[in-house]
């Protein structure tokens, strides 16, 4: 017997950008085989078909897998068409989680788009509605226009971008935070001194230490790896609770700004 999963039941998701074609299919097949159950994609990644092939080949019952994709900027005015295309490319009859990828305030269609997505949810084509890269001002605009609050907001968080006020705001609103690029894309955060020290003291890897940091903050990291060993390692990491002292140590890394990824100005269609 299988049970329908929901977003609240998973502590980590598998990221698929920028993987495409066979590389994406192989990575998702491996991720499902080692135990990931939330798979994150987006129309913008141009890999929904490749991800769908892996889901179909896995032999895992559909209701056991959470399929999460995102409405791209070009589709804010064609929500229904976008949904039909995503369902077809993914080869599924419903989405578990559908997000607006970026708010694009310069276009100004996102509250209306969210309203249209809610109609698809009422029809049973989408289980949970989400957003990505939404700041409180964008969540306010959605609430004002539709009366609705997304279940989840996927944002950039890592030990170099801790954004405590934003996290507190999501908690107040009852919105689950997910983190994209949780390992800061395998960059220098992985080798930062406090991260290395905690990893050594615990006998875990630095990647695991960072993912445990996300988990201990109540964030669901969306991590990518094409390597089965690191996929497993990352899954194990979200069982680890760091102590308050370890958390403070890691969160004390120098903070960087949003740069090109500021949702108020980023025009990603
Ligand atoms: N919503 C958005 O706007 C948005 C934006 C960007 C990304 N995303 C989502 O977030 C996902 C994750 O972000 P990302 O792919 O940019 O970066 P990431 O998950 O932070 O980092 C991936 C990199 O880290 C390496 N890695 C993975 N596990 C590791 C470990 N345990 N130790 C050391 N290195 C490790 C991977 O290499 P190997 O493959 O060799 O292991 C890869 O190079 C994306 O795939 C996508 O689904 C969403």
Section 217-244 average pLDDT: 98
The rounded Cα 252 to chain-centroid distance in angstroms is 24
Q: pLDDT tens digits, residue range 116-155?
A: 999 999 999 999 999 999 999 999 999 999 999 999 999 9
Pocket test for ligand 1, best of 17, 38, 204, 213 (most atoms within 8 A of CB): 17
Q: Measured in angstroms, how far is the CA atom of residue 48 from the centroid of ligand 1?
A: 17
pLDDT for 130 equals: 98
Strand positions, DSSP E, 84-133 = 95-100, 126-132
pLDDT at 34 over 80: yes
Section 52-81 average pLDDT: 98
For the chain, the structural domain boundaries read 7-186+217-225
Burial degree of 202 (CB within 10 A; 0-12, 13-18, 19+)? middle
pLDDT for 186 equals: 84
Q: What percent of the chain has pLDDT over 90?
A: 96
Burial degree of 239 (CB within 10 A; 0-12, 13-18, 19+)? exposed
pLDDT at 252 over 80: yes
Residue 133 Cβ < 6 Å to ligand 1: yes
pLDDT for 112 equals: 98
* Given 36, 45, 94, 110, the catalytic residue: 45
Q: What percent of the chain has pLDDT over 70?
A: 99
Which residues, including other chains, have CB under 8 Å from residue 169's CB and lie 6 or more apart? Answer: 136
Nearest to 159 by CA among 66, 246, 57: 246
Nearest CA to ligand 1 atom 36: 225
Helix, strand or coil, per DSSP, at residue 89: helix
pLDDT for 180 equals: 98
Section 173-193 average pLDDT: 94
pLDDT at 1 over 80: no
pLDDT for 47 equals: 98
pTM: 0.98
pLDDT for 4 equals: 78
pLDDT at 62 over 70: yes
Q: Measured in angstroms, how far is the CA atom of residue 211 from the centroid of ligand 1?
A: 11
Protein fold of 7-186+217-225: TIM Barrel (3.20.20)
CA dihedral defined by 134, 137, 143, 149, rounded to 10 degrees?
40
- pLDDT interval class at 48 (50, 70, 90): very high
Residue 191 Cβ < 6 Å to ligand 1: no
pLDDT for 2 equals: 62
Residue 121 Cβ < 6 Å to ligand 1: no
pLDDT for 187 equals: 81
pLDDT for 207 equals: 98
Please tell me the distance from the alpha carbon of residue 243 to that of residue 191, in angstroms, as a whole number: 20
Please tell me the distance from the alpha carbon of residue 11 to that of residue 37, in angstroms, as a whole number: 10
Q: pLDDT tens digits, residue range 4-27?
A: 789 989 999 999 999 999 999 999
C-alpha count within 13 angstroms, C-beta hemisphere, residue 193 = 4
Section 185-209 average pLDDT: 95
Does residue 45 carry a catalytic annotation? Answer: yes
Section 226-243 average pLDDT: 98
Cα distance between the two ends of the chain: 41
């Amino acid at each position: 017997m299988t049970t329908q999963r929901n977003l609240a039941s998973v502590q980590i998701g598998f990221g698929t950008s920028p993987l495409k074609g066979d590389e994406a299919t192989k990575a998702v097949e491996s991720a499902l085989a080692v135990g990931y159950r939330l798979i994150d994609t987006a129309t913008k990644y141009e890999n929904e078909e490749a991800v769908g092939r892996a889901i179909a080949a896995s032999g895992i019952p559909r209701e056991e897998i959470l399929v999460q994709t995102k409405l791209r900027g070009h589709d804010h005015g064609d929500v229904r068409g976008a949904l039909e295309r995503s369902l077809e490319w993914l080869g599924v009859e419903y989405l578990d989680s559908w997000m607006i990828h970026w708010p694009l305030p310069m276009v100004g269609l996102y509250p209306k788009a969210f309203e249209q997505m809610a109609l698809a949810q009422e029809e049973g084509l989408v289980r949970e509605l989400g957003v990505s890269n939404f700041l409180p001002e964008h969540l306010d605009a959605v609430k004002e226009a539709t009366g609705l609050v997304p279940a989840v907001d996927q944002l950039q968080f890592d030990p170099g971008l801790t954004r405590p006020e934003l996290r507190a705001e999501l908690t107040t609103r009852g919105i689950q935070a997910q983190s994209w690029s949780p390992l800061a894309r395998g960059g220098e955060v992985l080798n930062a001194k406090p991260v290395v020290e905690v990893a050594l003291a615990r006998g875990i890897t630095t990647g695991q230490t960072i993912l445990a940091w996300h988990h201990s903050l109540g964030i669901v990291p969306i991590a990518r790896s094409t390597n089965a060993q690191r996929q497993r390692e990352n899954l194990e990491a979200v069982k680890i609770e760091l102590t308050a002292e370890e958390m403070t140590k890691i969160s004390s890394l120098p903070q960087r700004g949003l740069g090109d990824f500021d949702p108020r100005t980023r025009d990603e269609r």
